Structure 1
Amino acid sequence: MLDRKVFAGARLRALRAQHRLTQAELAARLEISTSYVNQLESNQRPLTATVMFALASSFNLDLSSMMTDASDRLVAALREALADPAFGEGVPNLQEIKTVATNAPDMAHAVLRLYESYRRSNERLASVDAVLTRDAQSGMQTAYEEVRDFFHFADNYIDPLDHAAEALALTIGPFDPNRLQRLIAYCQTGHGMEAALIIPDRPDMIREFDRATRRLTVNARLEPSSQFFQIAAQLAGMEQADLSAKLLNAANFKTTEARAICQIGLNNYFAGALQMPYGPFLNAAGACGYDIEELAHLFGASLEQVAHRLSTMQRPNARGVPFFFARVDAGGTITKRHSATALQFARFGGACPLWNVHRAFEGRGEIIRQLAETPDGHRYLNLAWSSEKRSGGYHGTTRRYAYALGCEISHASRLVYAQDLDLGRAAFDPIGISCRICERRSCTQRSVPPLASSISVNADRRAVVPYDID
């Protein structure tokens, strides 16, 4: 059953604390010795299949959640932070970092917060104006970074909101062209909110709600999928206000700005889950081989909305294929990032230039496939495509984005995109996370040296990369 050793000391301690059990009481439930529990919690011994089944039956746990190494994203984030020269030359090795992430996740998060505080302070000190105009929070994470981490470490899955949206989806009715009108009717009858589709004076306006008249106006130029999403997001602020407040209070954000940003994120999460409710969407995804174009047609959604939703399918006991998802603008900046895989996006820099998402702008909407391998040996099937979003007429603005969606090769056989690929014999492109932490020494696309290594420069010899990595 187990192809690798599974150490879950931190999760076992958290489970015991949640149920207010002593080690002796937990041992009695699992029918093992107290000393064995102590060894499991201190990661001196891995979980066996027998213990995992006992945990699953005693606490109604999803076995896959115990098999999943939840520390992967912490390891990736710590490796990137600790590569900074600020930590000196003695950079901890991978095994040491894994030990900290597995045994002391709270300490790992504290190190990340401290590093982000240090980095943010340095960036702001580089500009006197910025320092003078910032408040007492200038050394902390930005509000957006704090919210990003909230979703990141929740696996981008918010269980109570997801179930609430799925229940409402039954009320809204079947997935047909009239679903948008039924949502509008529900808003009126259920909350006294009038939703109107209009062509606004400002082409960049998406939606606007007048609380006095309870009238919501949505840009009629938007695609129907976007109109549904925007109305559902506004509805979430009314229908799920108490649940959202509970989630926000538990998150304990440091600033009011972060709380407000997260409120928008929760509203958007509910909107996506209402548009593509978990059960029907998961069943349809499995039936069509995770064909994103077919799923977009079935649920009246855009490819971006479908890909984003696929990255959230991590409900216990009903998990879909774990995907990563990212949106990249024309300047190469990652503007959305979510990952339920071992692949973790760079927190402090741009993406690897060898990633196929950068070629998607040339594909004019075509879905491009890539088989890729990261330096840690993980292999992925990556999909990438691009789209344009226009606002207004001829003189309106155009936003161009490229999108990436991918999963580990172990799941690729479930995707329609791998049916004609010989995954056992295919060549894999060597990609990384970002140049500043990439270990590859022979990459001709390297933009900067890795922070954890020294370089040597030979004036009598020149290659594409003008230095050697020691």
Structure 2
Amino acid sequence: MKKLFLGRQIRSLRENAQLTQRDFAERLGLSTSYVNQLENNQRPVSAPVLLSLGEHFGLDLASLSVDDNDRLIAALQEVFADPVFAGSRPGLQDFKMVSQNAPDFAHALVRLHQAYRQMGEQLARFDDRLVRDEGLARPTPYEEVRDFFHFENNYVHDLDLAAEELSVRLSRTGRLFARDLAQHLEERHGITVERRRGEAGAGVIRRYDPATRRLALNEALPESTIVFQLAHQVALMEAGDIADAVLARARFQSADGAQVARIGLANAFAGALVLPYRAFLTTAQETRHDLDLIADRFGASLEQVAHRLSTLQRPRLKGIPFFFARVDRAGNITKRHSATKLQFARFGAACPLWNVHRAFESHGTIIRQLAETPDGSRYISLAAHVIKKSGGHSGPVLHYAIALGTEIAHARDIVYCDDLDLAREAAFEPIGVSCRICERLTCPQRSVPPLNRAISIDSNDRRLIPYEIR
């Protein structure tokens, strides 16, 4: 069992109560030196102390998780894999200490490294031209928002609860239809919903006119998208206060970042409204996470279902931890989240051995892969090709592949594992996270050497990989 270090939380409880360490220790029946050690993560928190903290200071024991810092630790490990830190790479315990004791510092370091990477990419594109625009050193709004949701575990509790409560009130059958949401928008907000034929090639999905209070939806969209866009409009009208509180806490670096985040929060509300937490979790468990059956039950798309499965992180009611990603044909990860130990690379494309790339060749089917990462963790990965249309013959057509997976320890709860030979070692394909940080030295699909390893090249010896990693 992992030891639980809660120094930052304990210090916050004491400071909020405006107590000295001595007074705080007396309340808990502990020595001052013991409290000092707890606050500095020099000792783990015992069960009796946890109970006492809950009783005297309202510590929510159910919200504690020994894995809360895993994402931040993974981000720090990737930062220090950069050659700029060669010879000074901290150990795992150092990463844990920083993430537990100084998370704000750790996040700032990750952002600083991101700015360094972006500046390097800008300089590479512009050769030796000097670029002095300070905006280049900042993450783009979409990158900033992506990282925000990543470190929030892709779950905003107040938003999810509010959406679920509204869904229960609006749904007559346990499933929300477009007519339910359109009626709610008209009765509650005086908004008229219209379905219009989209302009050829325009790619318009939804357009709201605040002056006339008319919401126009592209009639060529599938019904699952129509429902989601109606739910998104409901979120914009009713979840503003919750979004404001989240944005104030997040403190985005730019107004654009805050605006992108507001849209992201509205999408999160919409997803929770269409796929309410408890009903969705129950259906997922009853079907053993059969994506098609879940989609049929709620009238949702495969992508909506897969994405929602990765967000089931409600305290005391968590679902199976899944990773979710959406990849375009070029291999760019356009959406990503992981509640598992597998954390996606912040830069570069995904591992070419991952089955998500093969999904483009198998439209209409869910392909499976048993995979093993360099740390020895094993996963079941599901991938599917997704096509998005927004018009007729001349309208844009988008192609994506989505991936959903979890650790093989959950195989008995995943219907897709039933006929797989999980005991056979060779059944698990070796995959990595990204070539630049992958430690597999003999991978024939490697595109670039690892950042922290040297290479040697022999002109007399040509193999699949034209260099040897030292």
TM-score of the two chains, using structure 1 as the length reference: 0.92
Q: Distance in 2 between matches of 1:256 and 1:352?
A: 34
Q: Which amino acid aligns with 1:376?
A: D
The alignment status of 1:7 with 2:20, answered yes or no, reads no
Structure 1 unaligned residues grouped into runs of 5+: none
In structure 2, relative to structure 1, the CA distance for the partners of 1:409 and 1:248 (3 Å cut) is same
Q: Which residue of 2 aligns with 1:412?
A: 411
| Matched residue count | 467
Counterparts in 2 of 1:20-99, with a 5 A limit? 22-24=20-22, 27=25, 31-52=29-50, 54-55=52-53, 59=58, 61-63=60-62, 65-99=63-97
In structure 2, relative to structure 1, the CA distance for the partners of 1:334 and 1:25 (3 Å cut) is farther
User: Which has the higher mean CA deviation after the structures are superposed, 267-276 or 250-259?
Assistant: 250-259
In structure 2, relative to structure 1, the CA distance for the partners of 1:359 and 1:20 (3 Å cut) is farther
Instruction: Determine which of 177, 196, 200 is the counterpart of 1:198.
Output: 196
Q: Distance in 2 between matches of 1:359 and 1:278?
A: 31
Structure 2 unaligned residues grouped into runs of 5+: none
1:446 aligns to what SS in structure 2?
Answer: coil
In structure 2, relative to structure 1, the CA distance for the partners of 1:290 and 1:431 (3 Å cut) is same
Q: Which residue of 2 aligns with 1:260?
A: 259
Counterparts in 2 of 1:426-465, with a 5 A limit? 426=425, 427-465=427-465
Question: Does the aligned pair in 2 maintain the 1:372–1:379 contact within 8 Å?
Answer: yes
Q: Which amino acid aligns with 1:428?
A: F
In structure 2, relative to structure 1, the CA distance for the partners of 1:412 and 1:179 (3 Å cut) is same
Question: Does the aligned pair in 2 maintain the 1:175–1:300 contact within 8 Å?
Answer: no
Q: Deviations over 1:261-297 (max 9, x none)?
A: 1111011111101001112111221222122211111
In structure 2, relative to structure 1, the CA distance for the partners of 1:56 and 1:441 (3 Å cut) is farther
2:334 aligns to what SS in structure 1?
Answer: strand
- What's the offset of the Cα at 1:304? 0.4
Question: Does the aligned pair in 2 maintain the 1:9–1:41 contact within 8 Å?
Answer: yes
In structure 2, relative to structure 1, the CA distance for the partners of 1:463 and 1:181 (3 Å cut) is same
In structure 2, relative to structure 1, the CA distance for the partners of 1:365 and 1:33 (3 Å cut) is farther
2:464 aligns to what SS in structure 1?
Answer: coil
Q: Which residue of 2 aligns with 1:212?
A: 211
Q: Distance in 2 between matches of 1:252 and 1:201?
A: 38
Counterparts in 2 of 1:142-181, with a 5 A limit? 142-175=140-173, 179-181=177-179
Instruction: Determine which of 105, 116, 119 is the counterpart of 1:118.
Output: 116
Q: Which residue of 2 aligns with 1:250?
A: 249
Q: Which residue of 2 aligns with 1:241?
A: 240
1:392 aligns to what SS in structure 2?
Answer: coil
Question: Does the aligned pair in 1 maintain the 2:200–2:395 contact within 8 Å?
Answer: no
- What's the offset of the Cα at 1:101? 2.4
Question: Does the aligned pair in 1 maintain the 2:86–2:452 contact within 8 Å?
Answer: no
- What's the offset of the Cα at 1:420? 3.4
1:161 aligns to what SS in structure 2?
Answer: helix
- What's the offset of the Cα at 1:20? 5.1
User: Which has the higher mean CA deviation after the structures are superposed, 411-420 or 278-287?
Assistant: 411-420
Question: Does the aligned pair in 1 maintain the 2:175–2:274 contact within 8 Å?
Answer: no
- What's the offset of the Cα at 1:306? 0.8
User: Which has the higher mean CA deviation after the structures are superposed, 371-380 or 256-265?
Assistant: 371-380
Q: Which residue of 2 aligns with 1:349?
A: 348
Q: Distance in 2 between matches of 1:66 and 1:229?
A: 32
Instruction: Determine which of 99, 105, 108 is the counterpart of 1:107.
Output: 105
TM-score of the two chains, using structure 2 as the length reference: 0.92
RMSD of Structure 2 on Structure 1 (CA): 2.5
Q: Distance in 2 between matches of 1:273 and 1:19?
A: 35
In structure 2, relative to structure 1, the CA distance for the partners of 1:178 and 1:431 (3 Å cut) is closer
Question: Does the aligned pair in 2 maintain the 1:131–1:138 contact within 8 Å?
Answer: no
Q: Which amino acid aligns with 1:68?
A: V
Q: Which residue of 1 aligns with 2:135?
A: 137
Q: Which residue of 1 aligns with 2:368?
A: 369
Question: Does the aligned pair in 1 maintain the 2:332–2:349 contact within 8 Å?
Answer: yes
Q: Distance in 1 between matches of 2:367 and 2:28?
A: 49
User: Which has the higher mean CA deviation after the structures are superposed, 336-345 or 26-35?
Assistant: 26-35
- What's the offset of the Cα at 1:324? 1.0
User: Which has the higher mean CA deviation after the structures are superposed, 206-215 or 91-100?
Assistant: 91-100
User: Which has the higher mean CA deviation after the structures are superposed, 224-233 or 244-253?
Assistant: 244-253
Question: Does the aligned pair in 2 maintain the 1:8–1:66 contact within 8 Å?
Answer: no
Percent of aligned positions that are identical? 52
